C-alpha cells in the first residue's frame, strides 16, 4: 500500500518536477478502488523522498466484487472477501495508481525540464508488504537483470508467535542509477507479477523474429533452393557466354543480360539472409509488438495507433532483450513537408536493409460512409520485395506485369480478417 521513491542527486527536490507533484503539499487522487495520496516525508537539497500511499476501502472493495459477479455467495466466500490482504499489500492496485497518479512521469513528460527526464539519477524505491508466495527470490530474479541492487526484508507472520515463521510479505528496496521514467515503468509492469491474487494477461499483435525461426522449412524448401539454383545456373551460363565472347562471338548483350540476372539472384539471397540468425533457444528470439489488442478485462480497439505504439514502447522497457519497440512516425498527410520527411525516413530505413513500413489511419478503426476503410497498406522496401515476387521482379518488363495484377480479393480478405479480429475481441 506504500511506495516511496528517493532521489539522492542534488538538487534532490528535482524529483518534484519529474513527478509533477509539489514537495510542500499533500495531494489526493480518487481511484476506482479507493484514494491515493502523494506527499514528501523528506525534501532537502541532498535527499528528497516522495511517497505514494493507497487508502483502499476493504468493505467497498468486497461489495464491488459482489455486484460485479451479480450473484449470491456463500458465507465462506464472503468471509474470504471481507478478510483479505488486498487493502494492505503492494498489489496490482499499486500499478494502477502509478499509471494514474504519475502518468506524466511514466510517459517521460516534464515541460521545460526535458533534459531532466533523460538524466540517470541515483534513485531508490521501497515497496512495503510486497507478496512473494513460494518464490522469495522472485524480486531479485525480476529486478536484478534490469540493473537494480535489491534488498529484501522479510516479516514475521505473527510477532507473538515466532514458531509460525515468516509471512509471505517482504519490504523490497531497489537502488540504481537510472531514469525515473524507467524505474516507474519497471514497477508498473512487474509489481503485478508478484501479485498472487491478480494475474494479468496481455494480447499483442506482434512479429516474432527472426523470420527464419518460424519459416525454416519455407526457407530451406523454397527460398534457399531458388537462390542456389539461380547461382549455379546463371554462373555456368555466364561463364559459357564469357568463353564464347573471348573467341570473338558477338554475345555482349546476352552476356550483360545474364550478368544482371546473376546480380539480382545474389541480391535476392542477401534479402532473405538478412532476416535469419541462429536460434538455439527462446533467448535468441525477439518479439516486436505493434498492437496492444487486449488486457485483463478490456480491449483497446478504441485507442488510436499513437497510443498503441507509445504504450507498447513502455512495456518493452521491462525486457529489452526479448521485446523490441517498433519505430514509427505520425504523419499529417495534408502537410507536404511532413509527407516528404516520412518518405525520406522510409527510404533511409529500407536502404539500411529494413523490411519497410506499414501505413495505417491514425484511428484503430477507420470508417467512411459507413464502411470500414482498409486497415493498413504495406510499403515494402525494394530489396525485400525480391522475397515476395522473386529475384528478378524489378526487371522493367516484370514490373509492368506485376502492376496490372488484381488486388480486389486481397483487399477483401484483409478487411474481413480485420472485422473478424475486431468482433472477436
- The domains of the chain are located at 2-199
At 39, list the grid cell: 506527499
Q: What pLDDT sits at residue 81?
A: 54
The confidence score (pLDDT) of residue 189 equals: 83
Q: Which backbone phi and psi does 293 adopt, to 5 degrees?
A: -70, -45
CB contact burial 69-84 (16+ within 10 A = b; e otherwise): eeeeeeeeeeeebeee
pLDDT given for residue 77 in this prediction:
39
Which architecture characterizes domain 2-199 according to CATH? 2-Layer Sandwich (3.30)
In this structure, how many other beta carbons lie within 10 angstroms of the beta carbon of residue 191? 23
Q: What is the pLDDT of residue 423?
A: 54
- Contact assessment for residue 421 and residue 376, using Cβ atoms and an 8 Å cutoff: no
CA dist., res. 39 & res. 29, Å (int): 12
Give the separation between CA 306 and CA 303, rounded to whole angstroms: 8
- Span 42-58, pLDDT tens digits: 999 999 999 999 888 77
| pLDDT (0 to 100) of residue 244 | 93
Query: What pLDDT, on the 0 to 100 scale, is given for residue 11?
Result: 93
Q: What is the pLDDT of residue 74?
A: 41
C-alpha cell of residue 213: 525461426
The pTM for the full model equals 0.52
What are the backbone angles phi and psi of residue 230, rounded to the nearest 5°? -65, -40
User: Burial, 160: exposed, middle or buried (Cβ in 10 Å; 0-12, 13-18, 19+)?
Assistant: exposed
pLDDT at 195: 62
Helix (H) or strand (E) holding 359: strand 356-359
Q: What is the rounded distance in angstroms from the CA atom of residue 262 to the CA atom of residue 235?
A: 7
With contact defined as beta carbons under 8 Å apart, do 123 and 7 qualify? yes
Residue ranges for the chain with pLDDT beneath 50: 64-80, 197
Report yes or no: 40 and 20 within 8 Å, Cβ to Cβ.
Answer: no
Amino acid at each position: 500500500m506504500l511506495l516511496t521513491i528517493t532521489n539522492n542527486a542534488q538538487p534532490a527536490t528535482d524529483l518534484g518536477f519529474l513527478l509533477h507533484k509539489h514537495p510542500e503539499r499533500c495531494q489526493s487522487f480518487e481511484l476506482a478502488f479507493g484514494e491515493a495520496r502523494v506527499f514528501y516525508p523528506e525534501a532537502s537539497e541532498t535527499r528528497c523522498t516522495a511517497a505514494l500511499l493507497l487508502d483502499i476501502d476493504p468493505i467497498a472493495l468486497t461489495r464491488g466484487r459482489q455486484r460485479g459477479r451479480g450473484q449470491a455467495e456463500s458465507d465462506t466466500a464472503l468471509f474470504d472477501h471481507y478478510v483479505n490482504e488486498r487493502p494492505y499489500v503492494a498489489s496490482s492496485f499499486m500499478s494502477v495508481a502509478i499509471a494514474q497518479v504519475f502518468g506524466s512521469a511514466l510517459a517521460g513528460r516534464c515541460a521545460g525540464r526535458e533534459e531532466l527526464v533523460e538524466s540517470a539519477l541515483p534513485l531508490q524505491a521501497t515497496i512495503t508488504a510486497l507478496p512473494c508466495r513460494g518464490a522469495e527470490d522472485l524480486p531479485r530474479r525480476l529486478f536484478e537483470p534490469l540493473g537494480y541492487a535489491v534488498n529484501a526484508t522479510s516479516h514475521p507472520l505473527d510477532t507473538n508467535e515466532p514458531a509460525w515463521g515468516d509471512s509471505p510479505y517482504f519490504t523490497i528496496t531497489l537502488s540504481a542509477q537510472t531514469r525515473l521514467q524507467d524505474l516507474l515503468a519497471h514497477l508498473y509492469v512487474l509489481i503485478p507479477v508478484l501479485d498472487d491474487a491478480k494475474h494479468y494477461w496481455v494480447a499483442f499483435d506482434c512479429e516474432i523474429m527472426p523470420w527464419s525461426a518460424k519459416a525454416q522449412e519455407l526457407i530451406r524448401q523454397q527460398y534457399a533452393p531458388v537462390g542456389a539454383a539461380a547461382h549455379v545456373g546463371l554462373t555456368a551460363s555466364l561463364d559459357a557466354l564469357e568463353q564464347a565472347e573471348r573467341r570473338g562471338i558477338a554475345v555482349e548483350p546476352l552476356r550483360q543480360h545474364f550478368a544482371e540476372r546473376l546480380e539480382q539472384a545474389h541480391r535476392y539471397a542477401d534479402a532473405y539472409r538478412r532476416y535469419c540468425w541462429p536460434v538455439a533457444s527462446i533467448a535468441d528470439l525477439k518479439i516486436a509488438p505493434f498492437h496492444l489488442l487486449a488486457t485483463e478485462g478490456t480491449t483497446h480497439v478504441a485507442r488510436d495507433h499513437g497510443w498503441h505504439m507509445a504504450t507498447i514502447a513502455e512495456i518493452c522497457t521491462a525486457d529489452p532483450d526479448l521485446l523490441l519497440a517498433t519505430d514509427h512516425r505520425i504523419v499529417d498527410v495534408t502537410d507536404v513537408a511532413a509527407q516528404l520527411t516520412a518518405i525520406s525516413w522510409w527510404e533511409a530505413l529500407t536502404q539500411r536493409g529494413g523490411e519497410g513500413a506499414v501505413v495505417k489511419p491514425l484511428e484503430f478503426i477507420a470508417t467512411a460512409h459507413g464502411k470500414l476503410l482498409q486497415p493498413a497498406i504495406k510499403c515494402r522496401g525494394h530489396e525485400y520485395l525480391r522475397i515476395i515476387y522473386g529475384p528478378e521482379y524489378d526487371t522493367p518488363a516484370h514490373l509492368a506485369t506485376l502492376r496490372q495484377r488484381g488486388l480486389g480479393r486481397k483487399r477483401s480478405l484483409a478487411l474481413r480478417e480485420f472485422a473478424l479480429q475486431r468482433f472477436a475481441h
